[in-house]
Amino acid sequence: FFPDNPKQSSQIPVFIRILDINDHAPEFANYYETFVCENAKAGQLIQTVSAIDKDQPPRGHKFFFELVPEFAVHPNFSVVDNKGN
């Protein structure tokens, strides 16, 4: 747009068709409330979590879970991928 010289400016309507949007954020499949007993054994399974996303693709998404970096250095817990979601 050139306000000093209208001959050097033009306007045209543009229509955009959005084919797919991420209108559903990934979320846990269930509400999880996990408790760990003080006598839990090393390597003991504490909780299995799962996620879903209501957006495409129809066969679902692949999710990965990991500990945040500051807890991954000396972890008290580990995360294992069970090849599901």
Question: Given this model, what pLDDT does residue 29 score?
Answer: 87
Question: Given this model, what pLDDT does residue 23 score?
Answer: 78
Banded model confidence at residue 9, pLDDT cuts 50, 70, 90: low
Q: Is 63 exposed, middle or buried (0-12, 13-18, 19+ CB in 10 A)?
A: middle
Q: What is the DSSP letter of 57?
A: -
Question: Given this model, what pLDDT does residue 79 score?
Answer: 81
CA separation for the pair 73, 76 (Å, rounded): 10
**Domain coordinates in residue numbering, the chain:** 21-78
User: pLDDT higher for 60 or 38?
Assistant: 38
Q: Is residue 54 within 8 Å of 24, Cβ to Cβ?
A: yes
pTM for the structure as a whole? 0.56
Bridge-based pairing state of the strands 27-28 and 51-52 = antiparallel
The greatest distance separating any two alpha carbons of the chain, rounded to the nearest whole angstrom, comes to 80
Share of the chain above pLDDT 90, in %: 1
